[in-house]
Structure 1
Amino acid sequence: MSGQVSVAIVGRPNVGKSRLFNRLAGKRISIVHDRPGVTRDVVVADSPDGFALMDTGGIGMLPEMTPKEIQDATEDQAEFAIQAANLLLFVVDGREGLLPLDETLASKFRKMGKSPVLVVNKIDEPEKNYSSAEFGKLGFEHVVLVSAEHDHGIDLLSRLLLKLLPELPPLKEGDSGLRTRIAFIGRPNVGKSSLCNRLLNMERLIVSDVPGTTRETVELDLDYEVGEDQEPWKFRLFDTAGLKRRKRVDNSLDYFSAVRTKHAIEEVDIVFLVLDAREGVTKQDKILAGHVLEEGRALAILVNKWDLALEGFRKDPLPGYEDEKDFRKSYLKSIRKELFFLPDSPVCFVSAQTGHAIKDFLQMGRDLNTRLDKSISTSALNKLIGEMWEHRPPAKIKGKRFKVFYAVQVENRPFRIKLFCNREHKLGDPYRRYLEKGIHKKFGLAGCPLKFSLAGKEARYKEEKKS
């Protein structure tokens, strides 16, 4: 967002900031819910008009609404957005009227040298006698009545923003396309936000021991400096909410957070599945990894909190391990065993707390992104499949074996290979995995999902009859 004109949406809890944010952004990004305190981190999106929008958490939340440490961090994040923004949209509730907290916030913004646009929201039926006139006493020059829910007044507000904002700088040609999009996913409290903060060298995301602290999917641009003579590595980071087991998704907020996380997986190039080194691979981790593969995204594993695992090993060494290197080797072997269905995804042992191996896993992400664009030689592919068939023919089904006559790569991101075969329904899961593993190893596709499209004799005969 550096150098980009920005607008921050601020106000007390539950006045409709996130709904207004989604409306101005032109798509659903922030979670909208009647419960106060849903938005915690600053959520950033590019508006259709070219400026950056920042959605902030409610300022002045009561203690019973959310844990104090999270509320304090939420307000610190809002303070960051206020300071960084070129313009504030101060949102109030037109149905409730002017409250003391609104007046306190107005005074706060003035002391910070800000002159916000006052947005009186929830004017759903303009002909009704709302309390909007009360807000005149705040003394702001620009006041706009809107209904974010029903899209009333949004065009007027958008035109005013373009009038008040400084001239928008030209976008750097191709900048967004140059960024490798990476998402951090995992169970609650494994350290996803901590890893993002370590990369950004700032407390940009709220970190807490309270599971479920992150509810939104937060997008942030990272230009990672690697050396004086090298161009920075450009990434777009997606920090996601921790996904719970389906039986534990006990409210609509958990549900919407899960939906946002799944959408983030669909939008990125690379997914880092973050594990807690002290807990290892859980059933939920396997489910998450499987979902990433279904979406056709490249996948790597980050074993976070490795410093704590080693600290425990040093204090109380486990029997059967010669040293830390042997312990790590065994841990890696265990991960491979539990996540056997992955396409030989690379694994990196990291620590958000100490910064251990941060550059290593970013390099891993760059390598994966490059790998996704590989082209597989058709002749080499067919030779390999033939050799694999000779080495280990598939089991017979109803007296016949599955046989590939010809194979060709038809897509990237994800890799898709079309197999012209005798009977498409005869490719069982064990032999499918055997082929996938061989192709991954031969062509260096570790971490990249591979999908087969099968064309059997029946399908080809039907096509010939139709023609």
Structure 2
Amino acid sequence: MTPTVVILGRPNVGKSTLFNRLAQRKIAIVDDRPGVTRDRKEAPARIAGHDVTLVDTAGLEEAPPDTVAGRMRASSEAALRAADLVLFVVDVRSGLTPSDRAFAAWLRRSSLPVLLIANKAEGRGGAAAAMEAFELGLGDPIAVSAEHNEGLGVLHEAVAEALGEPRDEEEDEPAADDPERPLRLAIVGRPNAGKSTLLNALLGEERMITGPEPGLTRDAIAVEWRDGTGGRVRLVDTAGMRKKARIEDRLEQMSVAATLGALKEAEVVVLVVDALLGMDEQDLRIARLAEREGRAVVIAFNKWDAVEDREATRRRLTDVLTASLAQLKGISVVPLAALTGRGVDRLMPAVRAAYALWNRRITTGELNRWFEAALTRHPPPAVDGRRVKLRYATMPKARPPTIAVFGTRAEELPEDYRRYLVNAFREAFAMPGVPIRLQLRGTRNPYAEE
């Protein structure tokens, strides 16, 4: 097991900036406003020869448990229980606060090793300002400026000393076809649809901060987990996506950008829809975006326990999907109640089934037998009075399933015939709910331009 290094501190001391600097890539959203980070965020990192799991946490604040700040603190305390080393960050520009002193006393009572990080100590006066942190009783403060990349060498040395000698062997990242390679799963949807509640229900723990307030999740939060099949899953909870015209705040723009990045890196996307509100145009936009990115999609129809007329609600959803999401015909819909856990056990089997179809390859022989039958049943139409002669088909790749069709003027096929081929393929090989790509490759006459 790799050691876990947890970054703690009150809001706006630079924890997420330090997290990004140690992870050597921009993962956490950073802004000047306090309280941007609300959920703990994990990333693999290599510090002074050690492979570690680095954890960014929400700001520590004294607050009642039923408030957002209180739930943020509970999440940070949960991270602390799994820590092998704590980086306690203070802001030397603003000086020590009563909160810094209270949380330092809390850490002293724990048995965990703690490194005291005096952040924002750039420039000639920075090191002197950092000395104030001595009074916290957590050892020598390490003066750094995460934003300006100053003092990080000393921090790396201190981490190496705290963790001891690194292991000699290095574990390689599993290959794409390795069964131990985690399935990359993103949970997306509108604000307050229940995405974080669903992630907590899947994990069986209060991993994400939840509540009635919309927009609690601001960043894309990744968690590794094993589902009921024993397979590894890299779950990513994302910020809710509103209509683009309504997004004016810079922080929300960064949140949506993180969501889009998570969606592009995913293999399967779970679109969480509020069953009480039904599937609206924004849900459809998100589903179409996932389809354009070539991701398998499963719909989690959440808050199903609160729906009164279930038959009518199902019928409305079916009508919307048939009329507006034909490119994902047959998409799997799992009614569930994330808050109570009812029906959640049916979600991962649906995800695994969609993932298997998304990875499925059809042999060239099977494909061309289907292709010939499809052409016989419905020959391609003439284009501008000229015949289109389709010769054969291949499947150059899966993830998503992709059909390449070769023939004279194949690229001129009208859109309705392209849809016919895709739908016929989907039906013949039982591939509901996954995007299917059709590539048309014509044969060029070398004398046509002479």
TM-score by length of 2: 0.90
Find the counterpart in structure 2 of residue 345 from structure 1. 331
Deviations 1:294-330 (A, max 9, x none): 1111111111111111xx22xxxxxxxxxx5676456
How many Å separate the matches in 1 of 2:170 and 2:342? 35
Q: Distance in 2 between matches of 1:263 and 1:172?
A: 26
- The AA in structure 2 aligned to 1:55 is D
Amino acid at match of 1:188: P
Alpha carbons of 1:295 and 1:223: their partners in 2 closer, same or farther (altered >3 Å)? same
Superposed counterparts of 1:406-421, under 5 Å: 406-421=392-407
The residue identity in structure 2 corresponding to 1:240 is T
- Amino acid corresponding to residue 194 of structure 1 in structure 2: T
For 2:151, give the aligned amino acid: G
Partner of 1:423: 409
- Equivalent position amino acid for 1:224 in 2: D
Residue matched to 2:340: 354
Cα distance in 1 between the residues matched to 2:179 and 2:129: 44
Deviation per CA, 1:90-146: give whole Å up to 9, x if none. 111122222332222211211233442111112232466762221122232242221
Q: Give the Cα separation in 1 of the matches to 2:214 and 2:389.
A: 50
Opposite residue 83 of structure 2, the aligned amino acid is: A
Q: What letter corresponds to residue 58 of structure 1 in structure 2?
A: G
1:217 is matched with 220
Q: CA deviation at 1:56?
A: 0.6
Q: Gaps spanning 5+ residues in structure 2: where?
A: none
Q: Per-residue deviation at 1:155?
A: 2.9
Aligned to 1:439: 425
**In 2 relative to 1, CA 141–359 (structure 1 residues): closer, same or farther, beyond 3 Å?**
same
What secondary structure does 2:77 align onto? helix
- Identical amino acids, percent of aligned pairs: 34
Residue number in structure 1 paired with 2:262: 264
- Aligned pairs for 1:6-155 (under 5 A) are 6-48=4-46, 49-60=50-61, 69-126=67-124, 131-155=129-153
Residue 307 in structure 1 maps to residue 308 in structure 2: no
1:414 Cα deviation after fit: 2.0
Residues 20 and 233 of structure 1, relative CA distance in 2, 3 Å threshold: same
| Superposed counterparts of 1:178-327, under 5 Å | 178-225=181-228, 232-309=230-307, 312-313=308-309
Aligned equivalents of 1:268 and 1:366: distance in 2?
13
1:404 correspondence with 2:390: yes
User: Which residues of 2 match residues 355-374 of structure 1 at below 5 A?
Assistant: 355-374=341-360
For 2:384, the aligned partner's letter is K
AA at the equivalent of 1:378: T
Stretches of structure 1 that go unaligned for 5 or more consecutive residues are 226-230, 314-323
CA offset digits 1:23-53 (Å, max 9, x no partner): 1112111100111111001101111341111
Contact 2:130–2:141 at 8 Å: present in 1 too? no
Report the Cα distance in structure 2 between the residues aligned to 1:423 and 1:272, rounded to whole angstroms: 38
CA distance in 1, matches of 2:66, 2:305: 28
CA RMSD, Structure 1 to Structure 2 (Å):
2.7
**Structure 2 contact 37–57 (Cα < 8 Å) conserved:** yes
Q: Given that residues 296 and 414 in structure 1 are in contact (C-alpha distance below 8 angstroms), is that contact kept between their aligned partners in structure 2? A: yes
Deviation at 1:6, TM superposition (A): 0.5
Question: Alpha carbons of 1:111 and 1:272: their partners in 2 closer, same or farther (altered >3 Å)?
Answer: same
CA distance in 1, matches of 2:116, 2:155: 10
Cα distance between partner residues in 2 of 1:119 and 1:336: 56
- The Cα shift of 1:208 comes to 1.2
> Does the Cα contact within 8 Å between 2:299 and 2:333 map onto a contact in 1?
yes
2:127 & 2:104 partners in 1: Cα distance? 24
Distance in 2, Cα, partners of 1:85 & 1:306:
37
- C-alpha spacing 1:340/1:416, structure 2 compared with 1 (3 Å): closer
Give the Cα separation in 1 of the matches to 2:407 and 2:112. 68
Q: Is the 8 A contact 2:225 2:233 kept in 1?
A: yes
Q: TM-score, normalised by structure 1?
A: 0.87
How far residue 253 of structure 1 moved from its aligned partner, in angstroms, is 1.1
Aligned to 1:317: none
